[in-house]
Structure 1
Amino acid sequence: MNVELTNRRAAVLIPAAGSGQRMGTHVPKPYLLLGGREILARTLDVFETCPAVHDIWVIAAADQQVYCRQGIVERYGFSKVRGVVAGGDERQASVWRGLQHLGSEVDLVVIHDGVRPFVSHTIIEDVLEGAVQHGAAIAAIPLTDTIKRVSQQGCVEATMPRDRLWRIQTPQAFCRQLLQQAFEHAWQQRLSATDEAGLIEAYGHPVYVVQGSEQNVKITTPDDLAMCERFVER
């Protein structure tokens, strides 16, 4: 671990309020089994064992709080998890609620999707180091597919240059004060974004990119789950 991180306290917020709708199941995605263990439990295990991480807060749907705490956190003994927070109606509100629970000693904040169980310690530490140096850092991978813009009628309008296009992942790491200010700016301006980096961009602060991983999959569909089952079997 980089010496710059040894004097910092990093807290992780893990949004885990996803439904199972796109999976075609009544079981919420974080609690689906992957290789005999819940996806969320696998995700938490990576952060629990990462030396750069000190505190973890899980953000769950309000009606799943008790199960998340008892069936995941207490059952598997995740000692770094400080609590399970009830999420809001959307991701932005959920992460904001999580931010309000952090202790005053926390100066770095990591946000990571609860259904990305194959993140590595290296990626976590890379985004944290990026946040120390730049204020904000995110994991991403370069696009390899050809990207085309398509009209409402279903016809190709243009082929987009891909040399500067990246697929954004989590974890995303930020200096706490910067993230707090970006959220406050968003509320004042009534802005919304699909990830926290979008709020930082809207606030006018640059976001640094570090190399992610093809295996750092967000499990959203049955195909994603099947692919990740193969990862577990390796």
Structure 2
Amino acid sequence: MVTANRAALAARAVNCFLSQTWGNRELVVIDDGAEDYTPLFVAIPPGRITYRKVEKLPHNTLGTLRNLSLDVAKGDLIAQWDDDDWYHPDRLTVQAAALGLGRDVCLLGGTLMHLDSPEWFDHPYVGTLNPGVPGTILHRARSDARYPDERRGEDTVFLDNWPRDALSIIDAPHLFLRAFHGSNTWERQHFTRRIRNTPASGIEYFLRRYLLRNVYGHSRFRLGPDTRAAFAQYLADSRRLGIFA
């Protein structure tokens, strides 16, 4: 988990780590901010947490810091764990189980998306990417798999370390929620584009927004039982931690 000066949001990601049903896990935290995150880790056994404070330097991009986390991690499987997203308790278990038959990487084909802004707050949706959402990666550890020296978009390029036939793509958007809070690496449009990023969804978006005047009627907003339950848990966790009122 690469982070800086976002302890309030990171507390949720740490809580998600503690809630995982996959038993043999460690949390690696690379922190180049001024805040001290130590109080967030009191419930994690000493052998399950590595907290590395590093100096904030102009050349330390997000990709550089992610590579440092790869160097520090001790496990055979590694999952990207961002400080501002939410993770279902079964995320690691389900994705690890998908690695088999020669597959080295598991991605989710889509994730829940939530924007913390008045017009979007009560309207979560599922956003998809082809072949899968890069930030959901869980992969076998490989010393030659490296992130590019980029400030954003580094996880998309990271996928180039593996051929397509090494990827396992699963349809389980309830396992991961991408949260927009206003201080993300990407701007809000990066999130809302996920509603209309295929030809079919783009046509539907145009009809729903400009003709029917109800963008929330778009099929991406139609959540199933698993995604509805996951969103409810995300809200409950966020409110308990004081992220939402």
Asked if the contact 1:140–1:169 (Cα under 8 Å) also holds between the matched residues in 2, the reply is no
SS in 1 for 2:174: coil
Amino acid at match of 2:3: A
The 5 Å alignment of 1:105-120 reads 106-117=75-86, 119-120=87-88
Aligned residue number for residue 44 of structure 2:
78
Residue 90 of structure 1 aligns with an amino acid whose one-letter code is: T
- The aligned residue for residue 136 of structure 1 is 105
**Against the structure 1 CA distance between its residues 219 and 181, is the aligned structure 2 distance closer, same or farther, given a 3 Å change threshold?**
same
Q: Is 1:205 matched with 2:205?
A: no
> 1:181 matched to which residue of 2?
144
Partner of 1:121: 89
Flag the 1:61–1:143 CA change in 2: closer, same or farther, 3 A. Answer: closer
Gaps of 5+ in 2: 114-126, 192-230, 241-245
Cα distance change of structure 1 residues 48 and 132 upon mapping to structure 2, 3 Å threshold: farther
- Letter of the aligned partner of 2:26 in structure 1? D
**CA distance in 2: counterparts of 1:167 and 1:109, whole angstroms:** 17
| Partner-residue secondary structure (3-state), 2:20 | coil
Code of the aligned partner of 2:7? Y
Pick from 182, 193, 199: which aligns with 1:221? 182
> What TM-score, normalized by structure 1, do the two folds share?
0.57
The amino acid of 1:54's aligned partner reads R
Residues 182/192 of structure 1: CA separation in 2 closer, same or farther (3 Å cut): farther
Deviation for aligned residue 1:138: 1.8
For structure 1, list consecutive stretches of 5 or more residues without a partner in the other structure: 1-13, 18-27, 33-38, 145-161
Paired residue type of 2:89:
H
2:29 touches 2:50 (CA, 8 Å); kept in 1? yes
> 2-side partners of 1:54 and 1:43: how far apart?
14
When the two structures are superposed, what TM-score results if normalisation uses the length of structure 2? 0.55
**Identity across aligned pairs (percent)?**
8
Shift of 1:195: 4.1
Give 1:164 shift.
7.1
Q: How does 1:16-165 map to 2 (within 5 A)?
A: 16-17=3-4, 28=5, 30-32=6-8, 39-52=9-22, 53-64=24-35, 67-69=36-38, 71-74=39-42, 77-79=43-45, 81-86=48-53, 89-103=60-74, 106-117=75-86, 119-133=87-101, 134-141=103-110, 165=130
**Higher strand proportion:** 1
* Partner deviation per Cα, 1:126-149 (whole Å, 9 max, x = no partner): 2222344510112241899xxxxx
Give distance in 1, aligned partners of 2:32 and 2:150. 23
1:150 corresponds in structure 2 to: none
C-alpha separation between the residues in 1 aligned to 2:49 and 2:105?
24
Amino acid at match of 1:42: R
CA deviations over 1:24-66 (Å, ceiling 9, x no partner): xxxx3x323xxxxxx21221122223232421111212433xx
Pairwise CA RMSD:
3.9
> What letter is aligned with 2:235?
F
**Alpha-carbon distance change, 139 to 208 in structure 1, aligned in 2, over 3 angstroms:** same
